[in-house]
A and B are shown apart, each in its own frame.
Chain A
Amino acid sequence: MTKLAIAINLHRCTGCHTCVNACKMQNNVPMGMLWNRVITENSAVSDGVEGTYPNISRTTIPLACQHCENPACQKVCPTGATYKDDMGRVEIDYDKCIGCRMCMAACPYNVRVFNWNEPDRDPGFNYGDARVPVRSKGVVEKCTLCKERTDNGQVPMCVECCPMEARVYGDLDDPNSEISKLRAKNNVRILLEDMGTKPQVFYLE
């Protein structure tokens, strides 16, 4: 079996947002939506901190679909549009999506976005990878783990573009992969572990 995932080294992540725009570009994500974001933990500003000067710290966390092993979104999807594929990715069949947004409410990571209107693109054309399907008004979308790239042996665009080499992509079912070795380390951080969603994406502190 294959279980694709991304590991993010939080010490190497400088919160630069390159992966955010890389994802937006690759996947033709419209204005007002992002599949991948960078949050600064417990701060309202991107270069903010936790604590009181000078006893402060900053953690930036890139956040996209965690490709959960036990995806809360899939459980509530009434049409089967959201599914777990044979590469271990959580995907959406846009044709089956009826826009009920149950999945959005169920996802504890708040990483799904909805096309409330006709997609508004700036620039006003379909940019990104030609293989990525164009979504229309009324469907939900989110990180596909760059399905069109990973189907063809390429790494996800956020991994390709991360200037700090903070992101490691690979197969958790391959015990010899770099990502499997990282997963076995003791500095692994799983987001909202108690939700029982079992994210495949994980972070290194």
Chain B
Amino acid sequence: MKTIIKGLLIASIAFSGIAIHSVAQEISTLRNETKLDEQKTPNKIYQVNNSDIKQKRNYPMQPPLIPHTIRNYEVNLNTNKCMACHSRQRTEESQAPMVSVTHFMDRDGNFLAEISPRRYFCSQCHVTQQDTKPLVENTFIDMHTLMKAKTDPK
């Protein structure tokens, strides 16, 4: 019995070794196949899209992309630069859209007076868009298109 288990163990380790090896060849990371002790030539840094034009959301719950640069905007214990434009009190002067009501809700759905701590760090959810081609093809189809395809007479 013991020898069987041992044999199985060895076999599975050997197999997983092969599996890991082949996976390692397929996965393309930021470092690609650069050896651990080598320095990869850094990828190009692309410009952040600063068009100030709001982008379409792919689904209603998507955190909208940030249509402007955010270089050196501090969000920390002392200050939240984003809220200097996006808070309720500031939108008249800044002409920025107010953070939506969901940003004031705690996890039980109660509304707080200020933005909820879980929405404080904006860049957890909101990101800028770089002016570059996507690394992988996007095959996402939104609900609207799906429903239309279903109801449309062929």
Q: Do A and B come from one complex?
A: no
Chain B residues within 8 Å of A, Cβ to Cβ? none
Chain A residues within 8 Å of B, Cβ to Cβ? none
